[in-house]
């Protein structure tokens, strides 16, 4: 680490007492642990940052940053600053995830934010570099007016000073709590839910769960303007809509058969009916379990969140196809637990329907493959030809 990277953390209050304490430490005086704990840096402490090379204090003021006009400029101020400038050098140190104000800042372990006590902006950086003639090509540091942004988090990687003794190292080792498998599992699930619900920022290609079964919008993943290629997550429209239709037909079948049964009218073979309710019911329940929870989420959602549910929607196609096209389910029944299963020969109509379904699915896949894989350049006419719905926001339409 460069020598110019070191800063001294000084309290905004009791500076004379802190200066005396530091002089005693630098002189090698043995200081008891209780006194050292008085000067621990904690969550929400108000501090100053003294640059060790230039002996100036980090400061922000109400001037636009050179490369980011919406943010405030960061600079340093000399020690003999005026009272007004002094207020610009006071920072509130915030530890991410801290529960109480006595949470201690830890090297390489704490994620911290430096927020100006006067202006409310947080220390922020980005990839752009300052000009070499006066900024030496360094990354710009400025004040972000949204202190809660994730990009404002920093880590203190190294402390330069007196080396800790073996006893101190042992005392500072993090004590890891041992927990059982189920407690770990519950903690992991809770954290995943917490972090997922925190992803609330909007996205130009987000969509709602209600639109997913009808494939009204996709997600743009990649574009190549030179070759006019793109990758647009859309799915196979033919198979997607057929599977949604199969779910609707399955639900209607279950309701209609239940109404007939209430009136003691038999319209389907008992074995066929049992297969529809048990096997089909399991698939429908699995689809619902992977789909409806998304209605409870507050995070940004996308079409790809429906992919696990779409697997069971495709299975529903087989359930409906079997119900309408294949009879004599008893052929699946084994006479004995180890008896041979007899072959099930579909009717000519069922076989023809199956071939048509496969042909439609294959043709649709080949037609939309350039969007799925981005391997083929398409003319504007070809792109518009694949916009089956006006809500498909494909690139290179012109």
Q: What's residue 323's pLDDT?
A: 85
pLDDT, tens only, 94-104: 999 888 888 98
Q: What's residue 128's pLDDT?
A: 85
Q: What's residue 193's pLDDT?
A: 84
| Spatial distance between the Cα atoms of 318 and 312, rounded to a whole number of angstroms | 10
CB 246 within 8 A of CB 320: yes
Q: What is the mean pLDDT of residues 312-324?
A: 91
3-state secondary structure 307-351: HHHHHHHHHHHHHHHHHHHCCCHHHHCCCCCCCCCCCCCCCHHHH
First to last CA, the chain: 52
| Spatial distance between the Cα atoms of 260 and 251, rounded to a whole number of angstroms | 15
Q: What's residue 152's pLDDT?
A: 92
Q: What's residue 85's pLDDT?
A: 86
| Spatial distance between the Cα atoms of 277 and 275, rounded to a whole number of angstroms | 6
Q: What is the mean pLDDT of residues 238-259?
A: 93
User: Does the pLDDT of residue 50 top 50, yes or no?
Assistant: yes
Q: Which residue has the tokens 């006419």?
A: 381
- The DSSP secondary-structure symbol of 212 reads G
Q: What's residue 261's pLDDT?
A: 81
Task: Report percent pLDDT > 70 for the chain.
Answer: 91
Name the helix (H) or strand (E) containing 217. none
Q: What's residue 107's pLDDT?
A: 83
| Spatial distance between the Cα atoms of 118 and 140, rounded to a whole number of angstroms | 21
CB 276 within 8 A of CB 319: yes
Considering the chain, what is the average pLDDT of its residues?
86
Alpha carbon 17 to its chain's center: 46
Interstrand relation of 57-64 and 72-77 (parallel, antiparallel or unpaired): antiparallel
Q: What's residue 333's pLDDT?
A: 47
Q: What tokens does 169 get?
A: 């190292």
What is the per-residue DSSP string for 263-321? TT---S-HHHHHHHHHHHHHHHHHHHHHHGGGGG--S---GGGGHHHHHHHHHHHHHHH
| Spatial distance between the Cα atoms of 289 and 313, rounded to a whole number of angstroms | 12
pLDDT, tens only, 163-207: 666 766 676 666 777 889 999 999 999 998 888 877 888 888 899
CB 13 within 8 A of CB 62: no
CB 297 within 8 A of CB 196: yes
pTM over 0.75: no
Most confident of 100-109, 157-166, 242-251: 242-251
Q: What's residue 195's pLDDT?
A: 85
Q: What's residue 174's pLDDT?
A: 66
Confidence of residue 122 (pLDDT cuts 50, 70, 90): very high
pLDDT, tens only, 142-156: 999 999 898 899 998
| Spatial distance between the Cα atoms of 242 and 365, rounded to a whole number of angstroms | 14
Q: What tokens does 321 get?
A: 């196809």
Q: What's residue 302's pLDDT?
A: 92
User: Does the pLDDT of residue 332 top 70, yes or no?
Assistant: no
Q: What's residue 172's pLDDT?
A: 63
Q: What's residue 398's pLDDT?
A: 79
């Amino acid at each position: 680490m460069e020598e110019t990277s070191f800063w001294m953390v000084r309290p905004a209050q009791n500076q004379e007492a802190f200066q005396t304490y530091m002089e005693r430490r630098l002189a090698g005086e043995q200081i008891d642990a209780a006194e050292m704990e008085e000067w621990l840096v904690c969550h929400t402490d108000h501090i100053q940052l003294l640059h060790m090379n230039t002996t100036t204090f980090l400061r922000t003021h109400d001037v636009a940053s050179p490369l980011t006009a919406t943010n405030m400029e960061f600079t340093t101020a000399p020690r003999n600053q005026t009272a007004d400038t002094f207020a610009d050098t006071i920072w509130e140190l915030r530890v991410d995830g801290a529960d109480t104000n006595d949470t201690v800042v830890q090297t390489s372990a704490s994620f911290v934010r430096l927020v100006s006590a006067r202006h409310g902006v947080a220390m922020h950086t980005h990839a752009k570099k300052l000009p070499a003639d006066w900024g030496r090509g360094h990354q710009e540091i400025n004040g972000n007016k949204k202190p809660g942004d994730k990009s404002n988090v920093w880590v203190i990687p190294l402390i330069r000073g007196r080396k800790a003794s073996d006893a101190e190292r042992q005392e500072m080792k993090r004590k890891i709590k041992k927990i059982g498998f189920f407690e770990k599992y519950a903690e992991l699930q809770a954290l995943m839910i917490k972090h997922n619900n925190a992803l609330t920022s909007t996205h130009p290609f987000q969509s709602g769960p209600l639109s997913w079964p009808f494939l009204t919008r996709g997600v743009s993943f990649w574009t190549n303007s030179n070759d006019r290629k793109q990758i647009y997550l859309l799915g196979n429209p033919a198979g997607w809509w057929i599977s949604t239709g199969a779910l609707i037909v399955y639900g209607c079948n279950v309701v209609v058969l239940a109404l007939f049964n209430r009136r003691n009218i038999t319209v389907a073979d008992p074995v066929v009916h049992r297969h529809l309710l048990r096997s089909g019911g399991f698939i429908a329940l699995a689809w619902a379990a992977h789909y409806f929870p998304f209605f409870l989420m507050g995070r940004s959602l996308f079409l790809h969140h429906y992919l696990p549910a779409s697997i069971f929607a495709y299975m529903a196609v087989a359930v409906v196809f079997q119900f309408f096209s294949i009879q004599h389910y008893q052929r699946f029944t084994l006479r004995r637990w180890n008896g041979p299963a007899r072959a099930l020969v579909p009717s000519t109509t069922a076989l023809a329907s199956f071939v048509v379904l496969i042909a439609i699915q294959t043709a649709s896949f080949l037609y939309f493959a350039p969007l799925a894989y981005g391997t083929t350049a398409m003319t504007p006419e070809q792109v518009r030809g694949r916009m089956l719905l006006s809500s498909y926001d494909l690139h290179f339409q012109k």
